[in-house]
Amino acid sequence: MEQIESEICPICMAKELILSEDEIEIPYFGKVFLFSMHCNACGFHKADVESAEMKDPCRVTFTIEKEEDMNIRVVKSSEATIKIPQFRMTVTSGPESEGYVSNIEGMLNRFEKVIESEKNNSDDESAVKTAKNLLKKIRKVKWGEMPLKIIIEDPTGNSAIISEKTIIEKLKGKKK
């Protein structure tokens, strides 16, 4: 991993920003570059994933059906939008969006963190109840007791769910 230290942070302007770049080979997907920035002064963090090859915009659909599916590799670029229609949840791309390489369980953990935070910070009893129900459903999905469809739409084509069960479709739109 290549690191460049002591750049100026775009948030706090301290010369504490560490930039890093790594290159990894993901079976059935190819070579990807991992980029990240982290400021030791204010905690700002940004990460992204980019394929070494140009790819077409895509929609990737996968249905989690069993506990073993938690280990399936997920590549998500910062440009990608993740949708879980069953839960009426969407994580859109934007300045706060992170790119990452993880697995299905890691992706679900990210959703759990957001829902847990909403639950803990809400004064609305209805919102707290909804959050608790969603957390229970995610646990059932992780244990293989409930199927769940995940859709990733990526205009850059830099996202994937690495499984023979994955459905990949071209996304209408232009390459970025």
Pair 44, 25 in one domain? yes
Residue 93 three-state SS? coil
Pair 126, 66 in one domain? yes
Dist CA 162 CA 59 (whole Å): 13
Pair 140, 86 in one domain? yes
Cα within 13 Å of Cα(176), Cβ side: 14
Mind listing the pLDDT tens digit for each residue in 132-164? 999 999 999 999 999 999 999 999 898 999 999
Higher pLDDT, 52 or 61: 61
Average pLDDT (88-94) is 80
Pair 67, 111 in one domain? yes
Pair 20, 96 in one domain? no
Q: For strands 89-91 and 81-84, give the pairing.
A: antiparallel
Residues of the chain with pLDDT > 90, as a percent, come to 66
Dist CA 79 CA 125 (whole Å): 34
Pair 137, 170 in one domain? yes
Confidence category of residue 94, pLDDT binned at 50, 70, 90 = low
CATH of the domain at 130: 2.60.120.1040
Pair 127, 153 in one domain? yes
Contact (Cβ atoms closer than 8 angstroms) between residue 69 and residue 57: no
Question: How many structural domains compose the chain?
Answer: 2
CATH of the domain at 12: 2.20.25
Average pLDDT (107-114) is 92
Pair 88, 175 in one domain? yes
Q: Which amino acid, one-letter code, is at 66? A: K
pTM of the predicted structure, to 2 decimals: 0.79
Pair 114, 73 in one domain? yes
Confidence category of residue 8, pLDDT binned at 50, 70, 90 = very high
| Full domain range(s) for residue 73 | 54-176
Average pLDDT (56-75) is 96
Contact (Cβ atoms closer than 8 angstroms) between residue 82 and residue 151: yes
Q: What are the helix (H) ranges across the chain?
A: 104-121, 125-142
Pair 12, 58 in one domain? no
Choosing from 35, 53, 71, the residue where a domain stops is: 53
The DSSP secondary structure of 74-89, one letter per residue, reads: EEE-TT-EEEEGGGTE
Residue 121 three-state SS? helix
pLDDT value of residue 176? 46
Pair 84, 163 in one domain? yes
